[in-house]
Amino acid sequence: MVLIILSERDFDYELQALVTGFFPGQAVKVIVHGEENSAGEPGITLDIILGQFKIYADARTSLYKINYELDVTGSGNWHKHIDKAAHPYRTYYKNVLKKLVFCLLRDFPADMLPDGITKRIPAWGTMTGVRPVKIVMDQVLGGIGLQEIKKSLEDIYCLDPVKAELAMQIAVREAKLLANVDYENGYSLYIGIPFCPTTCSYCSFTSYPFDRYGSLADAYLDALEKEMEYSSHIFSDRKLTSIYIGGGTPTSLSAVQLGRLLKSLCKYFPVGNGIEFTVEAGRPDSITEEKLKVIYGYGARRISVNPQTMQQKTLDIIGRKHTAIQTVDAFNLARKTGFSNINMDLIIGLPGEKEEDFAGTLSKIKDLSPDSLTIHSLVVKRASRLRDTDGGYGTAETCKSLCMENMLDMGQEFARCNGYLPYYMYRQKNSCGHAGSTGQENIGYAREGKECLYNILIMEEKQTILALGAGASTKLYHMGMGQVERSENVKDVALYIQKIDEMIGRKRKLLKDF
């Protein structure tokens, strides 16, 4: 266990995330000076004093102690009346505090740690959030030169040079893709379909097996249309940039139900006219020719066919009730229907998979030649069955055997050799191997012209996202302030149907002054 003792309860969340990155598999407890530690004897203790002008930190075990002190003011130009709680000084203070702790732990000798505690240096440095590219993107859009950006990533945020290069590459690509889009004055639409053929063992999303909850589908579509009707008036004076229908698995619905959904969409929103339109078809066992024709007929031109892996043994373990052959058949059927922009999702770190398994999957994906490819790192979240049914799956010891870092590199090399460029990325805080460079990134790769604008806009928080359906989160972006406000819909399908007027009321409250 790692214990952090603070002089006051501030920046505790950020520090806890940073320290967790150094010590995989260790519990990290935060207390304030004078507060009793009820978590047991720590293997390593960090003592941090958050002074107005100086920060003091020490790290100690029974074998060793190291301490650093930092003059926060640097040149001494800060005045006494400046409050560290005030923005932008708070952001500056947070960055120098995290860098101080990063350097302290980086320099702590690994052989002076107690048995059972291993140290890794996080490749993403002090960036503990899920959107590291957002910081870089803001700098690119602000006209800052790439050399200066790289210097700040390595000097301020302590990024490994390889990660700094990746973040800059993606940010430059994103900026180029958004250059001809009036995203600041537009909005995007997300529609959630929370049904799936079955629930995968690793899944923590809002999804309900269709064989048990399918009887609610028509009532769900009734409620969804009601939310569509209200929401269509909210931004009638704004241009719709993109539409994304996700889930769950939208193709869990029957062809008739899909047609009903898409007909309502076209009734209330301006589908077409160059608007990007994605349907996440998802599970191959839910895809039929009739459904694909319905989707194509209502104007969607980008879909996802998501195998996650092409290893049949893994598909059986994780509860994907389809075969690798069905994935090939569904993909070819989509091509035959006319889809020229097909994405495929893969997951690295699935139970039992080694590098050779992932190499086999990539070989089969190469034969299909999708237009874009998203490679995810496995996340074992509290809401997933995998956490409960597979003992300690997701712990540091398990992660070491997964060779996820090699798989991540294999995916990047595969993309490079087959004409795919990274165009968006985010990180998962609870991914296997979260602590180091292993398994942190989820990266979207695409061939030229096949990128998904919606993925960029929602990940970098550059546009308001109007979200409809159970579990959907509307994100209102305030351009001038760079802030995002949210309105969440309930996740439970039956509650969503029952409380649809309340969901609409939440949106009305959020958007009344927008």
DSSP per position, 297-313: HTT--EEEE--B-S-HH
Q: Amino acid identity, residue 110?
A: A
Note the pLDDT of residue 227: 97
Give residue-wise pLDDT tens across range 227-262. 999 999 988 889 999 999 998 899 999 999 999 999
Q: What is the mean pLDDT of the chain?
A: 88
Note the pLDDT of residue 476: 92
Phi, psi of 4, deg, nearest 5: -110, 125
How far apart are the C-alpha atoms of 488 and 503, rounded to whole Å?
A: 8
What confidence category does residue 91 fall into, taking pLDDT thresholds of 50, 70 and 90?
A: confident
**317, exposed or middle or buried, with CB in 10 Å at 0-12, 13-18, 19+?**
middle
What confidence category does residue 397 fall into, taking pLDDT thresholds of 50, 70 and 90?
A: very low
Residue 75 clears pLDDT 60, i.e. is over it: no
Nearest Cα neighbor of 254 from 283, 225, 214, 282 is 214
What confidence category does residue 341 fall into, taking pLDDT thresholds of 50, 70 and 90?
A: very high
Contact between 490 and 503 (Cβ < 8 Å) = yes
Give residue-wise pLDDT tens across range 432-465. 444 343 346 899 999 999 999 999 999 999 999 9
**What's the average model confidence in pLDDT over 342-366?**
94
CA distances from 280 to 14, 287, 409, 447, 491 (A): 34, 11, 26, 18, 19
What confidence category does residue 77 fall into, taking pLDDT thresholds of 50, 70 and 90?
A: very low
Token pair in block for residue 177: 């893709």
Predicted model pTM: 0.89
Q: Amino acid identity, residue 484?
A: V
Dihedral in degrees, nearest 10, Cα atoms 218, 223, 225, 230: 180
Nearest Cα neighbor of 437 from 354, 357, 348, 343 is 348
The sign of the torsion formed by the CA atoms of 452, 455, 460, 462 equals positive
CA atoms within 13 A on the CB side of 109: 8
What confidence category does residue 384 fall into, taking pLDDT thresholds of 50, 70 and 90?
A: very low
Note the pLDDT of residue 348: 92
Give residue-wise pLDDT tens across range 29-45. 999 999 999 888 999 99
Most confident by average pLDDT, 24-38, 373-387, 406-420: 406-420
The sign of the torsion formed by the CA atoms of 165, 171, 175, 181 equals positive
- Name 2's Cβ contacts closer than 8 Å, sequence gap at least 6: 19, 23, 26, 27, 28, 29, 42, 43, 44, 45, 46, 117
Instruction: Tokens 């598909």: give the residue.
Output: 315
Residue 346 clears pLDDT 50, i.e. is over it: yes
Alpha helices in 116-234 (DSSP H): 132-141, 146-155, 161-178, 210-213, 217-231
Note the pLDDT of residue 66: 95
What confidence category does residue 396 fall into, taking pLDDT thresholds of 50, 70 and 90?
A: very low
Phi, psi of 454, deg, nearest 5: -55, -45
Nearest Cα neighbor of 201 from 335, 287, 314 is 314
What confidence category does residue 321 fall into, taking pLDDT thresholds of 50, 70 and 90?
A: confident
**What's the average model confidence in pLDDT over 276-287?**
94
The per-residue b/e assignment along 362-387, b for 16 or more CB within 10 angstroms, e otherwise, is: beebeebebbbbbbbbbbbbeebbbb
The per-residue b/e assignment along 203-240, b for 16 or more CB within 10 angstroms, e otherwise, is: bbbbbbebeebbebbeebbebbbbbbebbbebbeeeeb
Nearest Cα neighbor of 346 from 404, 296, 264 is 404
Number of C-beta neighbours around residue 260 at 10 A: 19
**What's the average model confidence in pLDDT over 317-332?**
91
Count how many residues are written for the chain. 514
What confidence category does residue 430 fall into, taking pLDDT thresholds of 50, 70 and 90?
A: low
Lowest-confidence segment of 119-123, 202-206, 209-213, 240-244 by average pLDDT:
202-206
Say what percent of the chain tops pLDDT 90. 73
Token pair in block for residue 131: 């959107």
Note the pLDDT of residue 282: 83
How far apart are the C-alpha atoms of 234 and 348, rounded to whole Å?
A: 40
How far apart are the C-alpha atoms of 327 and 310, rounded to whole Å?
A: 8
How far apart are the C-alpha atoms of 284 and 298, rounded to whole Å?
A: 20
Token pair in block for residue 115: 């048995």
Nearest Cα neighbor of 371 from 408, 415, 336, 325 is 415
How far apart are the C-alpha atoms of 52 and 252, rounded to whole Å?
A: 56
What confidence category does residue 429 fall into, taking pLDDT thresholds of 50, 70 and 90?
A: low
Phi, psi of 225, deg, nearest 5: -65, -35
Residue 400 clears pLDDT 70, i.e. is over it: no
Number of C-beta neighbours around residue 338 at 10 A: 11
